[in-house]
Chain A
Amino acid sequence: SAVISQKPSRDICQRGTSLTIQCQVDSQVTMMFWYRQQPGQSLTLIATANQGSEATYESGFVIDKFPISRPNLTFSTLTVSNMSPEDSSIYLCSVLRQENTEAFFGQGTRLTVV
């Protein structure tokens, strides 16, 4: 299994500010995925982060709001920019094991915007 360390685990932020979430994997992976889970809802994919190229964003998500970095094969960051209370969610990073596409997740970042 893959071990994924995600931080911070939670934060309370003022509206209009930005928060950067870090995700560290214990092995090299080609793709890393960022999800959002709004209160009481299931997971929605924000973007796929490939090392050495621009992230691929899903419909409804844009780079200006959720810039992503992927400097190497074990690390990625997601920034939530210019936050509003509607951004209050759990943000999760994920990887897929290449052999059987089993998905593994970080511990999640619980973000509250006030």
Chain B
Amino acid sequence: KQEVTQIPAALSVPEGENLVLNCSFTDSAIYNLQWFRQDPGKGLTSLLLIQSSQREQTSGRLNASLDKSSGRSTLYIAASQPGDSATYLCAVNSGGYQKVTFGTGTKLQVIP
């Protein structure tokens, strides 16, 4: 059974800092991995999708990497801004439409 862990659970940084969020998973036989952002009480916004054959994906100030063999993904946020404050979730698709497992999230606060 796939298990997804995110460390740290919470993170507080000053504005402008570069930061890394971590996601680890127990079964390396994955189809893809997706990073989401969730604002309080709201739905999930897709940030980046990495297919199993890819090593990284970039979108603006965000860069996500994937190392399947070690069961890890990182989300790098450059030059953080207060608007980046949210909970970040990673989700692992282990193949098949029902086999998406979510991590518990990292709650990020960027202080002006």
Residues of A within 8 A of B (CB): 1, 4, 6, 10, 31, 33, 41-43, 45, 48, 56, 58, 90, 92, 94, 96, 100-108, 110
Query: Which residues 22-42 in B have Cβ within 8 Å of A in the complex?
Result: 31-32, 34, 36, 41-42
10 inter-chain pairs at a CB distance below 8 angstroms, sorted by A residue, are A6-B43, A41-B104, A42-B104, A43-B91, A45-B98, A56-B98, A101-B93, A101-B97, A102-B46, A103-B91
**A100-B32, A100-B51 known; A105+B43 contact, CB < 8 A:** yes
Report yes or no: B102 in contact with A102, Cβ–Cβ below 8 A.
no
Residue from the list B31, B34, B43, B105 in contact with A92, Cβ < 8 A? B43
A31: which B residues are within 8 A, CB to CB? 97
Report the bound CA distance from A10 to B41 in whole Å.
9
Report yes or no: A100 in contact with B49, Cβ–Cβ below 8 A.
yes
Report yes or no: A102 in contact with B43, Cβ–Cβ below 8 A.
no
Residues of B within 8 A of A (CB): 31-32, 34, 36, 41-46, 49, 51, 89, 91, 93, 97-98, 100, 102-105
Report the bound CA distance from A43 to B104 in whole Å.
8
**A31-B97, A101-B32, A103-B91 known; A108+B104 contact, CB < 8 A:** no
Q: Number of A-B pairs whose CB atoms are under 8 Å?
A: 59
Report yes or no: B41 in contact with A108, Cβ–Cβ below 8 A.
yes
Residue from the list A43, A45, A104 in contact with B46, Cβ < 8 A? A104
**A48-B98, A101-B97 known; A42+B105 contact, CB < 8 A:** yes
Residue from the list A33, A56, A102 in contact with B34, Cβ < 8 A? A102
Report yes or no: A102 in contact with B103, Cβ–Cβ below 8 A.
no
Closest Cβ neighbor of A94 among chain B residues = B44
- Tell me how far the C-beta of B71 lies from the nearest C-beta in chain A, rounded to whole angstroms: 17
- Tell me how far the C-beta of A96 lies from the nearest C-beta in chain B, rounded to whole angstroms: 6
Report yes or no: A92 in contact with B44, Cβ–Cβ below 8 A.
yes
